[in-house]
Structure 1
């Protein structure tokens, strides 16, 4: 965080500083009461958060912004308690003030799948020349927004933020922290729909990124995604850039092929053809790569430079990660998360990479946060397994059993389907069942760490 004068912060929020506030430097702003300290401004964002002034009295330069009283307030000096009418209004007034201290490009990336990979690719491309502030791994929940914002300082050249959506209001809340100047939409499918009344409402929440850009700036979208194309862009007055296989796409993806755990591709942009590569397999990786290249280009980088840097990008752990297994088997760890779109993409990539001599074995767990769409999506996956010719299906857990039922109804042989509830039972089965050349694909919700242990058990 850039250290700020407390009186400047208070003035930005429309509060007249006291004499006691003058000359005080603030180097930490938080809404977590468990991180008190000197030179810290704490926003008590809810009156339901219990505070005890006795615990904070040892900090001489610790200040609390609140709109309600709390226990042992008298233990603190009067100037340490900054009373406001509406603490959330004061909080977001501060985030706006802090964000606008820095004239830097801020990229907000949203989508059901591809956010983290696209963000990491773009960061990899930029960070040789720039200091980049970015979300860490897939930690994109709202509780991380303030720390990420405070990570921007005078040395920051650009910021890349994953704009995740799990509930209504999440998109605009993120934008109220970061005021993005650029937006990227990767793809949209069913996920996190358990808190939305309909899938259309989920899409509309993603669509609010347009409003979060204040209908200006630069927006880069997947031209092949029907849900993105269904959005209302009529009020958008910024620069709209498209990528995908569509003939009208600004960045038109053409030839793709995989070789030795790399995917090679060609993309046409402004009459020129460029060839690039990314680690890992699957068409989705190419879409993420082209989205990151297009964004880097809009941030001032040459296309050739972006492509060259992307070639050294390291594949993300548990994102269709190919691992050498015991007894000449091949393991694919795709357990980063599981939703219908990523599971379908993973299964198709499994079939594409498998040779005729290899049995394709899908080991599947639950897909979380689907809400009312769960039954329908589990049914679709079961049908897909039969359609693309997966040889063996292994499911774990109560919910994943519905995939097996659907696969049987679709015509997959019951003798090739197995279900387990216990970790040790599953390990024992795989120890005896797997044969040399088998290619085993693992996919589940990222909270099921049993799959991690099974993969480690089967590694060479």
Structure 2
């Protein structure tokens, strides 16, 4: 955070100094008590604090509040600014702080791919710029203030995820970040428990259009059917389309699976650029297209971006290829789970599993609320459209996937279990070196995570055992 004096903040908020010093310096911010973890923090308090001394280790502390603070409560080390409305003062502070910096800020939303796209942009820019960005997948609304305050005078660009749990989430996030570039990676069907319907979920993702305030650059997947449903007629900013279609601005041609990644030709401004992006799947190509389009707006040309992208490292458990049980191959995709990411994972299984027995192990799709049955039926329909030899589901709700796949005409073997023990026993019998296993869930599915750990081969342990066997033989 760029340090600010209480005097400056008080003037911004039209506040009254009740106690403490105008010369106290603020280095951190918080709007929840649990976020007070450092000295020189400004805290916006809507409720009365009974005892300031509980935060003594974090003094000096600055409190902004509309509450009346008795003189007996005023403590050495605490500066108190009284305002008419704490909420209003909070947003005045947020808008003022963001206004101190004129820099490119990228905000990314989408059902899947937003973390990977954000990390790609961060990776490309970080070669020669100071970047502040969302940490891994920590994109909740409670983190926005901390990310905003991570911008300081040395920051040259910001890259932030804007997730949708409820309608209004993207708009609220962008109130903090004021993005100059917005990206919508794709729109599937998720968080319908709060968005109420697929249509409302699309609108919630489409809030990125309003968030750019008709001034920024909007980057979209031109082939995503749900993105096409967003009303862009009244958007006056620039729109950049990415995809395989010749009508897109950034076009991917000759897409091929390569060594642990994808190769393709990027066509942009009547020029061609050969690209390699780590990670399997066409969805990874779309992520790369969006990232390259964004950094191009910030001044990194496609040739340089392509070179830097070669060293990008994707997260583990995102379609990670590993050695598995009985010589099999594992596709570990246990990072997150939506119908959109399931479709992407099955496409990869189709492609790299050619000529092999293909097994798909799928767990419950979480955070779908009352729409659980609908979402799992959709997942079953998706499975039926792919070349899977054995479908295994784990969990009561995941069984809906299996039932719906069969209902849609799925002809291959189907097994449904409530725990991973029986699954492991089954796999021990049916997999061999000619088998590839997709294991799909999110990071919160303990049963699937435990199973994935059991069926992966620990190379280090194998090598130790091999050494022991060799010594015994000698």
On whether the aligned pair clears a TM of 0.5, the verdict is yes
Q: What is the TM-score normalised by the length of structure 2? A: 0.91
Tell whether the 8 Å contact from 1:112 to 1:187 is kept in structure 2 after alignment.
yes
Pair 1:288 & 2:293 matched: no
Tell whether the 8 Å contact from 1:166 to 1:195 is kept in structure 2 after alignment.
yes
Change (3 A) 1:135 1:72: farther
Aligned pairs for 1:79-98 within 5 A: 80-98=79-97
Change (3 A) 1:73 1:132: farther
SS of 2:159's partner is strand
Change (3 A) 1:433 1:58: closer
Tell whether the 8 Å contact from 2:16 to 2:83 is kept in structure 1 after alignment.
no
Aligned pairs for 1:26-425 within 5 A: 26-34=26-34, 35-44=36-45, 46-47=46-47, 51-56=50-55, 60-68=59-67, 74-76=73-75, 80-356=79-355, 358-371=356-369, 373-413=371-411, 416-425=413-422
CA distance in structure 2 between the aligned counterparts of 1:90 and 1:239, rounded to whole angstroms: 33
Q: Specify every segment of 5 or more residues in structure 1 that has no aligned partner in the other structure, as ranges.
A: none
Tell whether the 8 Å contact from 2:44 to 2:65 is kept in structure 1 after alignment.
yes
Tell whether the 8 Å contact from 1:18 to 1:79 is kept in structure 2 after alignment.
no
CA distance in structure 1 between the aligned counterparts of 2:188 and 2:287, rounded to whole angstroms: 16
- Cα offsets for 1:50-105 (capped at 9, x unmatched): 65334235655212222346899725369733333322221111111111111111
CA distance in structure 2 between the aligned counterparts of 1:136 and 1:363, rounded to whole angstroms: 29
Q: CA deviation at 1:20?
A: 4.2
SS of 1:398's partner is coil
Q: CA deviation at 1:428?
A: 3.0
Tell whether the 8 Å contact from 1:183 to 1:219 is kept in structure 2 after alignment.
yes
SS of 1:159's partner is strand
Tell whether the 8 Å contact from 2:393 to 2:402 is kept in structure 1 after alignment.
yes
Tell whether the 8 Å contact from 2:331 to 2:438 is kept in structure 1 after alignment.
yes
Change (3 A) 1:428 1:143: same
Tell whether the 8 Å contact from 2:19 to 2:81 is kept in structure 1 after alignment.
no
SS of 1:80's partner is strand
Q: CA deviation at 1:185?
A: 1.1
Tell whether the 8 Å contact from 1:11 to 1:17 is kept in structure 2 after alignment.
no
Q: What is the TM-score normalised by the length of structure 1? A: 0.93
SS of 1:442's partner is strand
Q: CA deviation at 1:431?
A: 2.8
- Cα offsets for 1:284-305 (capped at 9, x unmatched): 0000001101111111111100
- Cα offsets for 1:125-174 (capped at 9, x unmatched): 11010111010111111111111111111111100000111112211110
Change (3 A) 1:271 1:417: same
**Alignment RMSD, CA only?**
2.2
CA distance in structure 1 between the aligned counterparts of 2:69 and 2:13, rounded to whole angstroms: 22
Aligned to 1:13: 13
- Cα offsets for 1:1-49 (capped at 9, x unmatched): 11111111121122244694322111111123232553221112x43x8
Change (3 A) 1:236 1:73: farther
Change (3 A) 1:85 1:187: same
